[in-house]
């Protein structure tokens, strides 16, 4: 398959999204925000996603290896890189994971948390995503929407929400993300999409997908039109244009005025 990729930070802070691709593989990661809370790790989220992404690409170089097995190995290898950090801290650096691998008969996929993979078919779109995080502490999520983005009140509300979310992170009653243990891989959504039905695939973080999911400024058909005409960079630029019309989050309440975004656009030959 032919893959084009792009990623960009949502503001002045370092980019916590990560994307890479090979002729048969695309990997997209979205590092979870710390909201200024302690993580128990001296390395930080950008370091974590770069290490996890690189180890994932290496682990999945073997074509027939199950994606969940490769993710489990990569998670354990990255954990071994920083044994001096407190990996038991509930805020230890973590990330969503979305993987697409092209095979002879179909596309294997893995999704852990809310970075979607969208399959374009001749007559519809299939979205694979895991929104379990949205069911956690809904009252605190609603509280963040009461304040304008960027205000001290909003920042404090987000901090309280993240602090509460951490207590349910990677638990059977909560939601699962890539963190410090390979166990999380077994909770990912996995499957295979028959290649005969697929025209193209977009793998992206929620910061790019929100043009449809949150802002509802276009459809998935519109997203694929932008990707074909302007590429992955063009889709992120379109997201930024929309966000610029609502910098305070009054029309579209959100945690950040602009979120980091990453996209891998995969087209069949």
Q: Quick one: 267 exposed, middle or buried, by C-beta within 10 A (0-12, 13-18, 19+)?
A: middle
Position 140 scores a pLDDT of: 96
Position 21 scores a pLDDT of: 98
Asked whether residue 109 carries a pLDDT value surpassing 90, the answer given is yes
Phi-psi label, residue 141: left if phi above 0, alpha if psi -120 to 50, beta otherwise: alpha
When pLDDT is cut at 50, 70 and 90, the band that residue 39 belongs to is very high
When pLDDT is cut at 50, 70 and 90, the band that residue 197 belongs to is confident
pLDDT over 70 percentage in the chain: 100
Position 77 scores a pLDDT of: 98
Distance CA 28, CA 115 (A): 8
When pLDDT is cut at 50, 70 and 90, the band that residue 196 belongs to is confident
In the numeric block, which tokens belong to residue 190?
A: 């996995």
Q: In this structure, is the dihedral angle defined by the CA atoms of residues 1, 236, 257 and 9, taken in order, positive or negative?
A: positive
pLDDT in tens, 230-253: 999 999 999 999 999 999 999 999
When pLDDT is cut at 50, 70 and 90, the band that residue 65 belongs to is very high
Position 17 scores a pLDDT of: 98
When pLDDT is cut at 50, 70 and 90, the band that residue 62 belongs to is confident
Asked whether residue 89 carries a pLDDT value surpassing 90, the answer given is yes
Section 43-65 average pLDDT = 96
Q: Which of 106, 111, 119 is nearest to 193 (CA)?
A: 106
Q: Which of 19, 13, 14 is nearest to 233 (CA)?
A: 19
End-to-end CA distance of the chain: 6
When pLDDT is cut at 50, 70 and 90, the band that residue 226 belongs to is very high
Position 269 scores a pLDDT of: 80
Position 19 scores a pLDDT of: 98
When pLDDT is cut at 50, 70 and 90, the band that residue 63 belongs to is confident
When pLDDT is cut at 50, 70 and 90, the band that residue 104 belongs to is confident
Position 47 scores a pLDDT of: 98
Distance CA 55, CA 64 (A): 17
pLDDT in tens, 135-152: 999 999 999 999 999 999
């Amino acid at each position: 398959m032919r893959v084009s990729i792009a990623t960009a930070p949502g503001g002045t802070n370092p980019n916590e999204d990560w994307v890479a691709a090979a002729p048969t593989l695309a990997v997209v990661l979205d590092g979870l925000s710390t909201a200024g809370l302690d993580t128990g790790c001296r390395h930080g989220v950008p370091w974590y996603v770069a290490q996890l992404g690189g180890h994932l690409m290496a682990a999945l170089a073997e074509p027939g290896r199950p994606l969940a097995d490769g993710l489990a190995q990569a998670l354990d290898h990255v954990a071994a890189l920083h044994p001096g950090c407190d990996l038991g801290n509930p805020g230890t650096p973590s990330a969503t994971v979305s993987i697409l691998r092209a095979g002879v008969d179909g596309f294997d996929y893995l999704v852990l948390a809310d970075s979607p993979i969208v399959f374009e078919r001749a007559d519809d779109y299939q979205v694979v995503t895991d929104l379990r995080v949205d069911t956690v502490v809904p009252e605190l999520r609603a509280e963040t929407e009461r304040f304008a983005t960027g205000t001290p009140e909003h920042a404090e509300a987000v901090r309280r929400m993240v602090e509460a979310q951490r207590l349910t992170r990677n638990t059977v009653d909560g939601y699962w993300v890539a963190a410090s243990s390979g166990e999380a891989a077994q909770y990912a959504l996995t499957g295979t999409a028959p290649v005969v039905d697929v025209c193209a695939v977009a793998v992206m973080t929620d910061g790019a997908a929100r043009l449809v999911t949150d802002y509802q400024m276009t459809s998935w058909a519109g997203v694929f039109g932008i990707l074909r005409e302007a590429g992955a960079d063009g889709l992120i630029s379109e997201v930024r244009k929309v966000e610029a019309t609502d910098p305070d989050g009054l029309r579209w309440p959100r945690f950040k005025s602009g979120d980091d975004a990453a996209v891998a656009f995969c087209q069949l030959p």
